[in-house]
Structure 1
Amino acid sequence: MEWKPDRLHDKPIYKQIVEYIEYRIFNGEYPPGSLLPSERILAKELNVNRSTVVTAYEELRASGLIISKQGSGTRVSPFLAENSKERVPNWNRYVVGGSLLPNIPLIRRILKEALNKDLIDLATGELSPDLFPQAQFQQIIKTGNFNFHLGYENPQGNFQLRETIANHVKKYKNIDATASSILITSGAQQALHLIVQCLLKPGDSIAIEDPSYCYSLPIFKSVGLKVHLLPVDQNGVNPDDLLTLHKKHRLRMIFLNPTFQNPTGVSLHPERRKKILDIAAKYGIPIIEDDPYTLTAFEQEPFPTLKSMDPYGIVLYISSLSKIVSSGLRIGWITGPQRVINRLSDAKQQIDFGHSIFSQWIANEFLTSPYFHEHINQLVLELKKRRDAMVSSIKNYLHDHVEFFIPKGGIHMWCKMKTPIHEEKLLETALNYGVIFVPGSALGTKKGYVRFTFGRAYEDTIEEAIFKFSEAFYNLANKT
């Protein structure tokens, strides 16, 4: 094949492949029913990853241009013949017409590539398998006494687990809560979706951090919210910026990840926390506090949560076990006023009839056992080792080409590339070297940044991962 994708073009390679095959179909080079190259062969011909061709073929199938059948390969749809009275639906029109927007292409690409076991994963925001309490869970299942009803659970969540979480947040985060003020969710992600869908309406203005994990979430645009950005520095967001935004846009809600923030790793300074609470109380603006990382503090006690400092009742507090115990357990929670919890609980019932009793039972057993405290202590030690390994590796292999903040907890490291470089092209090059990360543009407006997740890679692969990234960086930098 003479044509090759342009690796220096802003358009993703898979999209270039889609457009090239579409062109050959519509100009008759690939007539209806003709056999296309297999994914493996086309990837070899174009010198791209097979997953890139898989993505391109999936989009072509969705548009009804090609069909695949096991044993027969991939062919141009025979229904494209002019004399045919039948056509497959143009699924592409359907998938772009839904009310819930898809993830941005860059995030979809990262999620797909992260499934490749041959890559060292510095992108996925979770713990590596060896940091999960696998043996403790097995022991709980083996010796525990499961005697719960197997029907639908209370949509608000199992009462015993909610009581346990109320005790948990009081002990570890000094938050006063009751079982009635807690809603169990499928991780923090569902909690955010419920809040956005139930408490806000199209046209409302909200504030999020920049950069922020929330920046990558399509849910805000899906419901027609106006999103305004709060710059993050080494002390978190600035209360003065918040006040300016509110006076200009009349904010309806503020979303903050104030402790070991994703992706920067910084923590909102206590004085700023108090000022933000005062501003929010003065103007009646709810604050959504997303707190997945407080218990991962490496060197000292973390700053108090906004919820524990809140005398006004304006903070809805979200946390989960995803980043500290098990992402697959899918246990998160929201703590807030009873009326809000009732509203969100009703919406959750409409979505899934309440959370699985099995995962709630395991979570309750784990949180009430000595295993939890032991696990957190060990987790903090292991995460600190990985952070230190990443810091050392970045200094050894990237030298003065990068600036970075050393986080005191959490699982992410935010790095500024001092040499101007195209982030998406850097990602493509890094994939070829065998490592994946998240370009900063997926998480905010700042250019020339990358996020490395040191909690996902195994400790003995972190140095290799940064070395491979540096090779990709130098390779691309020398071409520009």
Structure 2
Amino acid sequence: MDWKPNRHSSIPVYKQIAAHIEQLISNGEYPAGSVLPSERALSKELQVNRSTIVAAFEELRALGIIESLQGKGTIVSKNIWGGTNRRIPNWEKLIETGSFLPNPSMMRTIRKEMYHQDLIDLASGELSPELSASPYFRKILATEDFTYHVGYDHPQGNLNLRQTIAQHLKEYRNISATPSSILVTSGAQQALYLIVQCLLQNGDAVAIEDPSYCYSLPLFKSAGIRSFLLPSDEQGVDPEDIIDLYKKHRIKMVFLNPNFQNPTGSLLHIDRRKRILEISSYYGIPIVEDDPYSLTAFDQTKVPTLKSLDQNGTVLYISSLSKIVASGLRIGWIFGPQKAIERLADAKQQIDFGHSIIPEWVAKQFLSSEDFPIHLQKLRNSLACNRDKIVFSLHDLLGDQVEFFAPDGGIHLWCKVKSEIDEQQLLNESIRRGVVYVPGSIFGTKKGYARFTFGRASEDHIYDAMTRFSEALRHHV
């Protein structure tokens, strides 16, 4: 719990703890019948003596709010407030039967651990604070005049921002777009959600890469979509596999992350890109291109997106500023056929009444400023240094115990551990030693892999992080 008792208060600490737990129970965070953390766990988390927790539990037990059951521990009473004519909602059942599925349990554990300050984070798929564009945002907020009306704007997003995104796509990604065919979204995640909800229906089949970030998303299962896997190597997916899946399952869409792919860092070969577009056009299969990383190419080579090669309008293009500017800005976009964009915009309007004008204004100012290319170059240089540091660390600490290739862009390194491992146990041991990463099975069917995000940890911490991982691995095997 993100709460600590006030040791300077006149209220005894045990009473503060009892009152806080009672509030959590009242709010439904601990439903009737649920098991409370142990006395030992709470005393450690709240940094108090175990006797203080015992006193707090006694207070709640006297009120009839909790009870102790042999073999189960301390649970929330099913008749919490003592009135037999009142029933507590069965929150557990409601949670289990909701149509929107939770994230995988291992991913939820990782996300919880990532907030611990004493962990080195190689798991979070975002930039470290020092690599984000925060200093430029402060400059914009301090020097630029904000003249927009702070109200609901166009369902597709602010027109000035969409015009700026269209110019950005032409200059940096060789994509010719119009503002009317762009929808501003809350990052790429919302873009994927809107596409699945609006353009597919229960029972439809889609193809995703294996491994793939999409594999970790429950949004496909929540919508009743059947996902089929496209095996991937260092040059991406094999286009002929798309044909096979179409003939067997009549797939409706293909979801690809072709540029410095998450999690592998691979770059889809140009010949495969062209063949995929031929297949897409011949069979009428839309391609959803998720492209957060193409501008991170370390050698500054312009990576050709699928959309820039698309001659027939079969590609829905998704990108965002999360991986090159700042994830907290929550600015992403979809570019595609205007009719499809209007449908997606209508759905977004139902969800959140459109994007907030304030981050849109900041994004517009930054993208059109002279600072953006300066930031982008600094980012590429820093990411290349981080990549080199993690590659050196793996070679130095683990040698032939692991296999990997060094990506030429992006923020992830995909590493295979040669020895047989229990992913959950290795993760737990790594967290105990102070480093967190994402086990490979979260992204697909391949076992014995780890995704290390070198864009998240600072360069100074990377060797230390890999030292802790190597120690955990030696302890595990």
Q: TM-score, normalised by structure 2?
A: 0.85
| SS across alignment from 2:207 | strand
Contact 1:187 1:332 in 2 (8 A): yes
| SS across alignment from 1:451 | strand
Which residue in the other structure is 1:436 paired with? 436
Contact 1:270 1:303 in 2 (8 A): no
**One-letter amino acid of the structure 2 residue matched with residue 161 of structure 1:** L
Misfit runs of 4+, over 6 Å: 31-35, 80-83
* Distance across 1 between alignment mates of 2:120 and 2:470: 14
**Deviation digits for residues 32-91 of structure 1, max 9, x if unmatched?**
9999626333779xxxxxxxxxxxxxxxxxxxx969xxxxxx863262799944442221
Contact 1:35 1:76 in 2 (8 A): no
Contact 1:330 1:359 in 2 (8 A): yes
Please give the residue correspondences for 1:38-437 in structure 2 after superposition, counting only pairs within 5 Å. 39-41=41-43, 76-77=76-77, 79=79, 84-437=84-437
* Distance across 1 between alignment mates of 2:178 and 2:85: 63
Contact 2:253 2:287 in 1 (8 A): yes
Superposition deviation, residue 327 in structure 1: 0.3
* Distance across 1 between alignment mates of 2:202 and 2:35: 46
* Distance across 1 between alignment mates of 2:262 and 2:343: 28
Which residue in the other structure is 1:462 paired with? 462
**Deviation digits for residues 379-423 of structure 1, max 9, x if unmatched?**
000000000000000011111110001100000000011001011
**Deviation digits for residues 219-277 of structure 1, max 9, x if unmatched?**
00001011000011011000111111111111100000000000000010000000000
* Change in 2 beyond 3 A, CA 1:153/1:429: same
* Distance across 2 between alignment mates of 1:367 and 1:81: 56
* Change in 2 beyond 3 A, CA 1:158/1:34: closer
**One-letter amino acid of the structure 2 residue matched with residue 244 of structure 1:** D
| SS across alignment from 1:450 | strand
* Change in 2 beyond 3 A, CA 1:134/1:111: same
Which residue in the other structure is 1:61 paired with? none
Contact 1:291 1:317 in 2 (8 A): yes
Contact 1:33 1:78 in 2 (8 A): no
- Structure 1, unmatched stretches of 5+, are 1-30, 45-64, 68-73
**One-letter amino acid of the structure 1 residue matched with residue 206 of structure 2:** I
Contact 1:32 1:81 in 2 (8 A): no
* Distance across 2 between alignment mates of 1:377 and 1:360: 23
* Change in 2 beyond 3 A, CA 1:284/1:121: same
**One-letter amino acid of the structure 2 residue matched with residue 127 of structure 1:** L
* Change in 2 beyond 3 A, CA 1:179/1:81: closer
* Distance across 2 between alignment mates of 1:161 and 1:32: 48
* Change in 2 beyond 3 A, CA 1:84/1:195: same
**Deviation digits for residues 259-296 of structure 1, max 9, x if unmatched?**
00000000100000000000011010000000000000
Contact 2:215 2:443 in 1 (8 A): yes
- Structure 2, unmatched stretches of 5+, are 1-32, 47-64, 68-73
* Distance across 2 between alignment mates of 1:85 and 1:126: 50
* Distance across 1 between alignment mates of 2:34 and 2:234: 58
* Change in 2 beyond 3 A, CA 1:141/1:243: same
* Change in 2 beyond 3 A, CA 1:32/1:132: closer
Superposition deviation, residue 133 in structure 1: 1.7
| SS across alignment from 1:157 | coil
* Distance across 2 between alignment mates of 1:326 and 1:81: 46
| SS across alignment from 1:79 | coil
Superposition deviation, residue 147 in structure 1: 0.6
* Distance across 2 between alignment mates of 1:400 and 1:134: 40
**Deviation digits for residues 182-215 of structure 1, max 9, x if unmatched?**
0000000000000000000011000000000000
Superposed CA RMSD? 2.1
* Distance across 1 between alignment mates of 2:41 and 2:346: 45
**Deviation digits for residues 293-335 of structure 1, max 9, x if unmatched?**
0000012514310000000000000000000001000000000
Q: TM-score, normalised by structure 1?
A: 0.85
* Change in 2 beyond 3 A, CA 1:410/1:250: same
Superposition deviation, residue 151 in structure 1: 1.1
Contact 1:290 1:317 in 2 (8 A): yes
* Change in 2 beyond 3 A, CA 1:333/1:113: same
Please give the residue correspondences for 1:24-39 in structure 2 after superposition, counting only pairs within 5 Å. 37=39, 39=41
1:476 aligns with 2:437: no
* Distance across 2 between alignment mates of 1:400 and 1:437: 20
* Change in 2 beyond 3 A, CA 1:34/1:135: closer
Contact 1:208 1:254 in 2 (8 A): yes
* Distance across 2 between alignment mates of 1:335 and 1:32: 46
| SS across alignment from 1:277 | helix
* Distance across 1 between alignment mates of 2:37 and 2:432: 28
**One-letter amino acid of the structure 2 residue matched with residue 421 of structure 1:** I
Contact 1:132 1:325 in 2 (8 A): yes
| SS across alignment from 2:366 | helix
Superposition deviation, residue 96 in structure 1: 1.3
Contact 2:264 2:414 in 1 (8 A): yes
**One-letter amino acid of the structure 2 residue matched with residue 371 of structure 1:** D
* Change in 2 beyond 3 A, CA 1:423/1:32: closer
* Change in 2 beyond 3 A, CA 1:91/1:246: same
* Change in 2 beyond 3 A, CA 1:278/1:136: same
| SS across alignment from 2:157 | coil
Which residue in the other structure is 1:5 paired with? none
